Amino acid sequence: MVSESDIKHQVREFYDHIGWQEASNGFYQNASYEDLRPVAHDYIHNCHLRVMRHLNPTGHLLLDAGSGPIQYPEYLVYSKGYQHRVCADISIVALQEARKRIGHHGLFIVCDVANLPFKSNTFDGMVSLHTIHHLPPDEHIRAYQELYRTLASSGKGVIVNGWDNPPLTIFMNFWIGLVERLYVLFLAQPKVVDRGKESSPADNQTTSRSTYVRKHNAAWLHKEVGSLMPVKIWCWRSLSVRFLRTFIHERFAGRWLLKILYWKEERFPHFLGKYGQYPLIALSKYK
Ligand SMILES: C[S@@+](CC[C@H](N)C(=O)[O-])C[C@H]1O[C@@H](n2cnc3c(N)ncnc32)[C@H](O)[C@@H]1O
């Protein structure tokens, strides 16, 4: 049995030595989980900016819990109207890289999201993107509580983590599997598909290119976290990177398909947030 401190140690080692090392073209290894193709650029960009709608635009301190190196340009926008961005991460490499990006605008603290070393009611804004799923399962609720505790009474925060096998992904995986089988039958060897952020390695299992991940579903969030604090689910992105890489291509009207997808997500944000791949969980202490 792997202990909680072993899991955190593995995760930190992974990000220090692999995840936040440059892999190619100036991108970190972690960016291999994202769809960085030009065809998906506008869609991914607009999805990143959805976070802004649920934050106070200005304030004193914005907490970025599990900041990593603040790897995408859109992330910089979240703290533009704030005096300081407090980057909290267990990976020292993440924070060294983040400091290169934001310099004096940042305060950099090596710490654990489930045990934040900050007073209650401190932050006017908070983001925590793709981080809580790396914690040992017993500490997920505590991490939500810590993020909520440290949020100011007028503060607003956003948490993004993929769901564990949501219905839309299960449905789409059927079609992806079909396309992959046809590809093998008629064309060539199967392409290596990087399942990236949406993959769910078995608990406690890691490979040299991934680390510990444990995800939940919307029912879990409502029951375990919704009973402790008000949470509202919106859509961050409804389809997996694996889906985008399989079905979205420049020569098959990919840009237009993504415009339609974005429009659908805007029309049905709660439904697609709950049943699609990536919810945006909005937190605030006031109604
Ligand atoms: C997938 S990366 C996401 C980074 C960034 N938020 C983004 O979206 O690009 C996860 C980050 O969470 C950090 N992390 C993992 N477990 C943590 C913990 N218990 N406390 C603080 N940070 C943690 C990792 O070191 C890593 O930088």
How many angstroms is it from 108 CA to the middle of ligand 1?
Answer: 13
The 10s digit of each residue's pLDDT in 1-10 is 678 889 999 9
What is the mean pLDDT of the segment spanning 43-69? 98
Asked whether the predicted pLDDT for residue 190 surpasses 70, the reply is no
The 10s digit of each residue's pLDDT in 237-275 is 999 999 999 999 999 999 999 999 999 999 999 999 999
Asked whether the predicted pLDDT for residue 83 surpasses 70, the reply is yes
Asked whether the predicted pLDDT for residue 218 surpasses 80, the reply is yes
Q: How confident is the model at residue 205 (pLDDT cuts 50, 70, 90)?
A: very low
Instruction: Give the per-residue pLDDT at 4.
Output: 81
The minimum-distance atom of ligand 1 relative to the CA of 197 is 1
Q: How far apart are CA 48 and CA 237, in angstroms?
A: 9
The 10s digit of each residue's pLDDT in 152-174 is 999 999 999 999 999 999 999 99
DSSP letter string over the chain? ---HHHHHHHHHHHIIIIITSEEETTEEGGGGGS--SGGGHHHHHHHHHGGGGGS-SSEEEEEEET-TT--SHHHHHTTTTEEEEEEEES-HHHHHHHHHHHGGGEEEEE-BTTB--S-TT-EEEEEEES-GGGS-GGGHHHHHHHHHHTEEEEEEEEEE---SS-HHHHHHHHHHHHHHHHHHHHTSSPP----GGG--PPTT---TT--------HHHIIIIITTTS-EEEEEEESS-HHHHHHH--GGGTHHHHHHHHHHHHHHSHHHHHHHSSEEEEEEES--
- Residues in the ligand 1 pocket, defined by CB under 6 Å: 8, 11, 15, 30, 66-68, 71, 89-91, 94, 112-114, 129-131, 134-135
Q: Chain-wide mean pLDDT for the chain?
A: 92
How many angstroms is it from 58 CA to the middle of ligand 1?
Answer: 24
The 10s digit of each residue's pLDDT in 113-155 is 999 999 999 999 999 999 999 999 999 999 999 999 999 999 9
Can you state the angle between helices 41-49 and 254-267, rounded to 10 degrees? 20
Asked whether the predicted pLDDT for residue 210 surpasses 90, the reply is no
Mode of pairing for the β-strands spanning 106-110 and 151-160: unpaired
What is the mean pLDDT of the segment spanning 55-72? 98
The minimum-distance atom of ligand 1 relative to the CA of 114 is 19
The minimum-distance atom of ligand 1 relative to the CA of 12 is 25
Q: How confident is the model at residue 182 (pLDDT cuts 50, 70, 90)?
A: confident
Instruction: Give the per-residue pLDDT at 188.
Output: 67
How many angstroms is it from 66 CA to the middle of ligand 1?
Answer: 4
Length of the chain: 287
How many angstroms is it from 217 CA to the middle of ligand 1?
Answer: 20
Instruction: Give the per-residue pLDDT at 286.
Output: 72
Site to probe by mutation for ligand 1, drawn from 14, 90, 92, 147 as the one with most ligand atoms within 8 Å of Cβ, is 90
